[in-house]
Amino acid sequence: MRTYAGSVTATLTPDPTELSEATSSDSALRRFLHGLPGVDQVGAEARAAMLGTRSIKTTSKELALELAIRMVDLTTLEGQDTPGKVRALCSKAMRPDPTDPSCPPTAAVCVYPDMVGVAKEALGGSGVHVASVATAFPSGRAALDIKLADTRDAVEAGADEIDMVIDRGAFLAGRYLQVYEEIVAVREACAREDGHGAHLKVIFETGELQTFDNIRRISWLAMMAGAHFIKTSTGKVQPAATMPGTLVMLEAVRDFREATGRMVGVKPAGGIRSAKEAIKYLVMVNEVAGTDWLDPDWFRFGASTLLNDLLMQRMKMRTGRYSGPDYVTMD
């Protein structure tokens, strides 16, 4: 393993043999994860704060608003969700601004597994993906066979993406191989007979992981297990997404690609409500991971209300005035 100076951590680039050997046993995985360079908490918070002060020009802001809309996973994860509510959300995802056909659609609609079929039918061939939470969301506390059945049900119903939750209790107890093997098993359950399986997003619930070092460790563990995306939060626990926590994850995906050649996406979710906040995240993506991640295939926002402010700010940029309170639908 070689390391070199990074911004808030030492950057690490293990070789492929080392990564393969790291998952051969619980003790080997523990040695690898605890051998990762530590995160400077003060440095991470300071850099995130500094990036949050960056200003961008008007033209760049217009592009950022358009990009942020295309990155939204428009989400409803409530016990009171109905087919009608999901259909309305799908309609909004496809045409966020009904008065302006030039407004781009969102990346996905995220729902519970029992609503996947409703969303799939409503979205049709629009290109908007159907994402489904699974694996005993939001706690992640269930037997593995139940988690896998949950995943397969969503995939068979047509989910394009699965957002699974890790067992935080197992991770915090140091049962790293158990968490790794569960991610591998869920990734395999995402497969379809036609060969076009669902992409897997792995939710950490960073607000429960206690330290930035733990966020870095679980980021590497999930990527080594085959995650297509790593995701901060369920949105059910506070704090949810934070800029310093997301910064650590962005550094991890950057370093993982340096080590393996494979890109992994990042999805902050929960608590991001304003266009101003979203643009701060995009600046951070550009500065920390690089321009390749400025794409809905590699960066998403998990949100239920962010889209409304993005639409209002977009209208302000285009017309010079703010719209009235009834301009956007309230989700």
238-257 b/e with 16+ CB inside 10 Å = b? eebbbbbbbbbbbbbbbbbb
* Residue given tokens 């939710």 in the structure block: 203
Determine the pLDDT at residue 92.
97
Q: Taking the model in full, what pTM does it have? A: 0.93
- The three-state secondary structure class of 231 is strand
Told to judge if 201 belongs to the known catalytic residues of this protein, a careful annotator would answer no
97, 150, 163, 167: the catalytic one is 163
- Looking at residue 286, its pLDDT comes to 96
User: Is 267 part of the annotated catalytic residue set?
Assistant: yes
Choose among 227, 327, 245: nearest CA to 281. 245
How much is the pLDDT for 6?
Answer: 45
Residue 268: which of 315, 219, 316, 313 has the closest Cα?
Answer: 219
Task: For domain 9-319, give its CATH number from 3.40.30.10, 1.20.1090.10, 3.40.50.620, 3.20.20.70.
Answer: 3.20.20.70
Measured CA to CA, the distance from residue 35 to residue 38 in angstroms comes to 8
Q: What is the predicted pLDDT for the residue at 7?
A: 47
Q: Please report the sign of the dihedral spanned by the C-alpha atoms of residue 31, residue 137, residue 303, residue 224.
A: positive
Active-site residue identified among 92, 120, 147, 231: 231
pLDDT of residue 331: 56
Please report, for the chain, the start and end positions of each structural domain, with discontinuous segments joined by +.
9-319
- 163 in catalytic set: yes
CB 217 within 8 A of CB 256: no
- Other beta carbons less than 10 A from residue 51's beta carbon: 18
pLDDT for the residue 5: 36
Which residue is catalytic, options 167, 267, 280, 309? 267
Please give the chain's pLDDT, 331 residues, in tens: 444 334 455 556 677 778 878 999 999 999 999 999 999 999 999 999 999 998 888 889 999 999 999 999 999 999 999 999 999 999 999 999 999 999 999 999 999 999 999 999 999 999 999 999 999 999 999 999 999 999 999 999 999 999 999 999 999 999 999 999 999 999 999 998 777 899 999 999 999 999 999 999 999 999 999 999 999 999 999 999 999 999 999 999 999 999 999 999 999 999 999 999 999 999 999 999 999 999 999 999 998 899 999 999 999 988 877 665 555 665 5
Inter-residue contact 288 to 250 (CB < 8 Å): yes
